[in-house]
Structure 1
Amino acid sequence: MGSKDQDLPASSGGGAGGGGGFFQSITKGMRSLGLAVTNSVNGMVGYEGLEVINPDGGTEDAEAEAMKGRWKQEDRDGYWKMMNKYIGSDVTSLVTLPVIIFEPMTMLQKIAEIMEYCELLDKADECEDPYMRMVYASTWAVSVYFALQRTWKPFNPILGETYEMVNHRGVTFIAEQVSHHPPMGVAHGENDHFTYDITSKLKTKFLGNSVEVYPIGRTRVTLKKSGVVLELIPPLTKVNNLIFGRTWVDSPGELVMNNLTTGDKAVLYFQPCGWFGAGRYEVDGYVYSAAEEPKMMVTGKWNKSLSYQPCDQEGDPLPGTELKEVWKVAPTPANDKHQYTYFAHKLNSFDTAPKKLLPSDSRLRPDRYALEKGDMSKSGAEKSRLEEQQRAEKRTRETKGEQFTPKWFNKTDDISPTPWGDLEVYEYNGKYAEHRAAIDSSSVAEETDQSSIEFNPWQYGDSSQ
């Protein structure tokens, strides 16, 4: 994530003379519109503080919307009574949530989903034009939002849990959970064109029937051909209608991609959702030179496609140029229970797993696997068992006076300021590459039934025994 002078990118993202061009005036208007037309029902009888937002309708149908959703009425009412006292709080690790709202995937796997369209980073690496390079890179950053609109919660990883991915466009990917309170995941991905590094810590604000998710993290991409280093600052995400109504996700605000090497940047604005879905999914913005001059405009919808066009210093399209598509969403499975893409299914399968998968891998979690098979009762029981084992291991660690030490990442002395709080940064230590090379070159490495491996992220073995 960004440094202090990047906390408010919109204020410095204008064109020549600070004018900002066409899209900036449009987005300012949409900001006001989005705030003015939010369609909600507040203060339903017995439900003080309730807000229900129907993204497809107007104010007159929000009360009917409140009666819809995945919850049974008695479960919904009971959960509202329990959660109501947490309004305004960070609930990231505060409450135990029922598996009815979960998807069969962990947060480490969600981090890996940004690799789906990583061919855009390959193109950025091969590109000689510095502004087209930023078009490709910023579009890659937007591409994951189609997957992030899923309305299910991923499992919080167990401390020491990992996720490995291979067999996707030459990328080798490793993620590790390095902290439980607060929950933090770290990942490193690499192929012939780029390296990708992220330290991720989520912070939330529970608002009653919705929650704001603040992506406190630092994401850096290094393009190998040019040596350019890129840094990503994403917008916050808001999950609406958690208990009452049909759950839906929006990420209004600015996504900023900074080129730390040259000073170029992309500032893309995610429009807020208004009445009857007005503005929902829309993304507009520019690639700017280091001199703050707009060079490329980018426009489209994050759930369909993005296009680009060269522009002048006022942000208007250059004569003789045309809008060209740079990315579009791949086909998806029809009527998928958890709104998974084909790539999400691959992430959950052993098709993307390397030989001799680490026993700490997310795919092996029994609660995740049970939910994938549709057994919510077993999933809930296994989730509780794993959480108790995690608490038992913490007690053992405290008794021994020891600190948890990640295997594949090292904690640095760097503190990265972000728009939502400071972040302790972890870096890849290179040991995973050595581990993987040793296995891949071993003549005794045998193919085993990966699904038969027992999930084991524990530092001391099974501390609950």
Structure 2
Amino acid sequence: MVKEEINVVLTKPLSLDGESNDDFRAPNILQRVLSLFKSVRPGTDVTRFKLPAIFNLPKSHLQCFGELVYCIGNDMLSKCNSLESPLERFTAVVAWSISMNRPPVFGSAPYNPVLGETHHVSRGNLNILLEQVSHHPPVTALHGTDEKENIEIIWCQHPAPKFYGASVEAEVHGRRQLKLLNHNETYEMNSPKLCIRFLPVPGADWVGNVKIKCYETGLEAELFYKANPFIALRRNHRAVKGKIYNSSSSKILYEIDGHWDRTVSLKDVNNGKSTIIYNAKEVLTGLKAPIVKDLEEMWPSESAAVWSEVSQYIMRQDWEKASEAKKAVEEKQRKLLRERESAGETWVPKHFTVTCNKERGWDCSSIKKVVPPAPIVVPL
């Protein structure tokens, strides 16, 4: 049996200035965005809306989710694991959670992943695997393991975007868990909301509340990502405030203040001493694009393969061919759906078990205990 030839397109991750690729520039952003107003009504659930290719970044949402973990300037995960005291580790986890807020690109969005799409990447000893476990609604599962550091990451992402006339607000449901197995500590956290504003001043930002909790130590943190005012002053741009406290006594230990795209400081409430726990310039600049290490081991379901033709045309700004290639990917998925329905079959995720109930929403667990090394790697 001859193995199907796989083409792969990998691009640079979102960096501090919001650009994703040196060769890609989305033209006439505001005009394109305003043209969509005729297609959707206020309050519309836009998860089923087919975004034209001219609005797409040359990568999938799966790749963007994965980049939050594996595309990073400093090895912040190892620091979380190496610190001695529970409080030091907790503050390091808070800093790591802040590092996952990447400047969004206004007017452009990644592809909506197809059902069963995967993304498998390694950075050093950290191996990351993502799978699109549901298409309607869109749900992504992520599993990461570092056997050297004895770290495990489990996420279940369910974005729910809605259109409100002058803006789109996407609430990201689902749990994010980080397990430091050497310390028997599990940290659970949520994601801020993505707000895309068209009027009066176009822009995109992360807003809302994030809670981080470690059940074993009783430490908790609350972060508040502030929305930018209409007239955004530099000192107020992308501000984040919060606190770290002991859940059993509600005693505040540290106050958090800063800007997630610059620096974030931690102030000890007992002595007033402040230290910088996060420097975005150190973490989110000079990021390198993943590369293919072993094409023979690549799965046909890999994001960079599924959308390779679309990405090639987008990077050439050949929007007509990009649209045709995107329609071909989407039509293939509709055909597979019709075939399953005709045969009375239900699609089952390959790498994760998935549950959904009214109380907890969507949740997932990995079928395998350890993520194997990937055919795609991030240069260190």
- Other-structure match for 1:328: 279
- Other-structure match for 2:29: 70
1:105 to 59, 68, 73: 59
- Other-structure match for 1:38: none
- Other-structure match for 1:196: 153
- Other-structure match for 2:221: 266
User: What letter is aligned with 2:341?
Assistant: E
User: Which structure has the bigger radius of gyration?
Assistant: 1
User: What letter is aligned with 2:157?
Assistant: S
- Other-structure match for 1:224: 181
1:190 Cα deviation (Å)?
A: 1.3
Contact 1:69 1:245 in 2 (8 A): no
Deviations 1:392-415 (A, max 9, x none): 100000011111111111124x64
1:152 to 105, 108, 111: 108
- Other-structure match for 2:232: 277
1:140 Cα deviation (Å)?
A: 1.0
Deviations 1:169-214 (A, max 9, x none): 4210110111111111111011133211111111112012310001
| DSSP-derived class of the 1:231 partner | strand
Deviations 1:123-165 (A, max 9, x none): 1211222222221111111112134466521100111110011
User: What letter is aligned with 2:353?
Assistant: N
- Other-structure match for 2:330: 387
User: What letter is aligned with 1:266?
Assistant: A
Taking the aligned partners of 2:46 and 2:268, their CA distance within structure 1 comes to: 44
Contact 2:30 2:107 in 1 (8 A): no
Structure-2-length-normalised TM-score:
0.81
Contact 1:92 1:203 in 2 (8 A): yes
Moved more, 125-134 or 391-400: 125-134
Structure 1 position 310 matched with structure 2 position 268: yes
Structure 1 position 234 matched with structure 2 position 191: yes
Taking the aligned partners of 2:211 and 2:296, their CA distance within structure 1 comes to: 37
| DSSP-derived class of the 1:211 partner | strand
Contact 2:189 2:211 in 1 (8 A): yes
Taking the aligned partners of 1:382 and 1:341, their CA distance within structure 2 comes to: 32
Taking the aligned partners of 2:33 and 2:131, their CA distance within structure 1 comes to: 34
The change in CA–CA distance for 1:138 and 1:367 in structure 2 (over 3 A counts) is same
Q: Between Structure 1 and Structure 2, which shows a larger proportion of strand residues?
A: 2
Structure 2 unaligned regions, length at least 5: 1-26
Structure 1 unaligned regions, length at least 5: 1-67, 313-317, 333-339, 441-446, 448-465
Contact 1:264 1:289 in 2 (8 A): yes
1:239 Cα deviation (Å)?
A: 0.7
Contact 1:173 1:190 in 2 (8 A): yes
The change in CA–CA distance for 1:169 and 1:178 in structure 2 (over 3 A counts) is same
The change in CA–CA distance for 1:105 and 1:181 in structure 2 (over 3 A counts) is same
- Other-structure match for 2:243: 286
Contact 2:68 2:102 in 1 (8 A): no
Structure 1 position 176 matched with structure 2 position 131: yes
Deviations 1:287-329 (A, max 9, x none): 11132111122221111122223223xxxxx15x3x2222212
Structure 1 position 362 matched with structure 2 position 303: yes
1:110 Cα deviation (Å)?
A: 1.3
Taking the aligned partners of 1:341 and 1:381, their CA distance within structure 2 comes to: 34
The change in CA–CA distance for 1:129 and 1:432 in structure 2 (over 3 A counts) is closer
User: What letter is aligned with 1:251?
Assistant: W
Count the aligned residue pairs.
341
1:138 to 94, 112, 116: 94
Taking the aligned partners of 1:131 and 1:325, their CA distance within structure 2 comes to: 15
User: What letter is aligned with 1:281?
Assistant: R
Taking the aligned partners of 2:256 and 2:325, their CA distance within structure 1 comes to: 46
The change in CA–CA distance for 1:69 and 1:331 in structure 2 (over 3 A counts) is farther
The change in CA–CA distance for 1:342 and 1:398 in structure 2 (over 3 A counts) is farther
- Other-structure match for 2:38: 81
The alignment-based identity, stated in percent, is 23
| DSSP-derived class of the 2:141 partner | strand
Taking the aligned partners of 2:88 and 2:370, their CA distance within structure 1 comes to: 33
The change in CA–CA distance for 1:297 and 1:147 in structure 2 (over 3 A counts) is same
Taking the aligned partners of 2:184 and 2:326, their CA distance within structure 1 comes to: 43
1:223 Cα deviation (Å)?
A: 0.7
1:120 to 55, 61, 76: 76
The change in CA–CA distance for 1:220 and 1:78 in structure 2 (over 3 A counts) is closer
1:255 Cα deviation (Å)?
A: 1.4
| DSSP-derived class of the 1:308 partner | strand
Contact 2:201 2:230 in 1 (8 A): no
| DSSP-derived class of the 1:145 partner | coil
Taking the aligned partners of 1:274 and 1:309, their CA distance within structure 2 comes to: 26
Taking the aligned partners of 2:45 and 2:155, their CA distance within structure 1 comes to: 22
Contact 1:165 1:354 in 2 (8 A): no
